[in-house]
Amino acid sequence: MNPFDLTGRVALVTGANTGIGQGIAVALAEAGADVALAGRSSAEETAGLVRAAGRRAALIAADLSTIAPVGDVVESTLAELGGLDILVNNAGIIRRSDAVDFSEADWDAVVDTNLKSVFFLCQAAGRHMIGQGRGKIVNIASMLSFQGGIRVPSYTASKSGVAGLTKLLANEWAAKGVNVNAIAPGYIATNNTAALQADAQRNRAILERIPAGRWGAPADLGGAAVFLASSASDYVNGHILAVDGGWLAR
Ligand code: NAP
């Protein structure tokens, strides 16, 4: 018996066409899960990687800047893959500007996508998981679930909110067989951090602070995601697992 085995499980991953979502979707497939890929851009490439791992993939078009598609995302996963055991709330955006200049539009866009849609997807998936007495929810948090950051007020608010929400849902659902946890990635080389990577000064400062001495890659999140999606984590509830090359230990 391998407690990390996901054979026969169905996972739903949002924002899986690229970056961390793609890395997690592929890791879940390699551990045995079939994977529904929900997002606003086509995740054909990721679907190909899931199928290459011998698993089924379903593509679900959904713009999660509002909660309008949430019910359909869960229903489509159930209809196309026959179940829903794992939800990974990965889709997210960031907007950068000094706090004194920060616009309402940049506040709403980030909080709506990163926090509101995350909660209502947890709710929709959670209703199904509570009904079957079993489920795993993995939210993607951030270093800015612990720290303040700079020039990203709505992102910090949203990711701090994701950490709090993860703990609230764990409190309500742990006894119902649903584990709700989060992964807090450190500095991972993706589109989300392209501006930081391109800024020579920030890039150097970030690298100097990371004990591991390198940016993370999307594949670095795979092990933590499989752990939190599998029965290996059945007694882990409301935890925010940092995968950060030691950033928070510094
Ligand atoms: P990314 O490459 O920009 O990926 C973000 C994903 O979210 C993309 O698939 C994107 O789709 C999707 N998305 C954004 N808005 C959406 C919407 N309205 N509807 C549906 N999908 C939407 O960045 P990433 O770094 O992999 O980010 C993934 C998650 O990790 C985010 O929640 C981010 O905050 C978090 N995170 C990243 C880091 C890091 O260092 N990279 C650190 C901590 C946390 P499109 O391709 O269509 O934009």
CA of 18 to the centre of ligand 1 (A): 8
**Phi, psi (rounded to 5 degrees) for 179:** -90, 125
Ligand 1 pocket member 138 (CB < 6 A): no
Closest residue by CA, ligand 1 atom 7: 91
Ligand 1: does its nearest atom lie under 6 Å from the Cβ of 197? no
Question: In which residue ranges of the chain is pLDDT below 70?
Answer: none
Q: Give the pLDDT confidence score for residue 220 in this predicted structure.
A: 98
Catalytic pick among 119, 155, 215, 247? 155
Instruction: Tell me what pLDDT residue 97 has.
Output: 97
Catalytic-residue membership of 155: yes
Residues 6+ apart with CB under 8 A from 111: 154, 157, 158, 161
Exposed, middle or buried, 210 (CB in 10 Å: 0-12/13-18/19+)?
A: middle
Instruction: State if residue 154 touches ligand 1 by the CB under 6 angstroms criterion.
Output: no
For ligand 1, is residue 93 a contact (CB within 6 Å)? Answer: yes
CA of 91 to the centre of ligand 1 (A): 5
Question: Position 92: which residue type?
Answer: G
Quote the pLDDT of residue 148: 98
DSSP symbol at 247:
G
Structure confidence at residue 53 (pLDDT): 98
CATH of domain 10-188+219-242: 3.40.50.720
Looking at the whole model, is its pTM more than 0.95? yes
Does residue 221 line the site of ligand 1, with CB under 6 A? no
Confidence at residue 83, expressed as pLDDT on a 0 to 100 scale: 98
pLDDT of amino acid 92: 98
Atom of ligand 1 nearest to the CA of 218: 26
**pLDDT at position 102, please?**
98
Please give the C-alpha separations between residue 53 and each of 27, 34, 45, 107, in angstroms, as whole numbers. Answer: 9, 10, 13, 39
Taking only the tens place, the pLDDT of each residue in 66-125 is 999 999 999 999 999 999 999 999 999 999 999 999 999 999 999 999 999 999 999 999
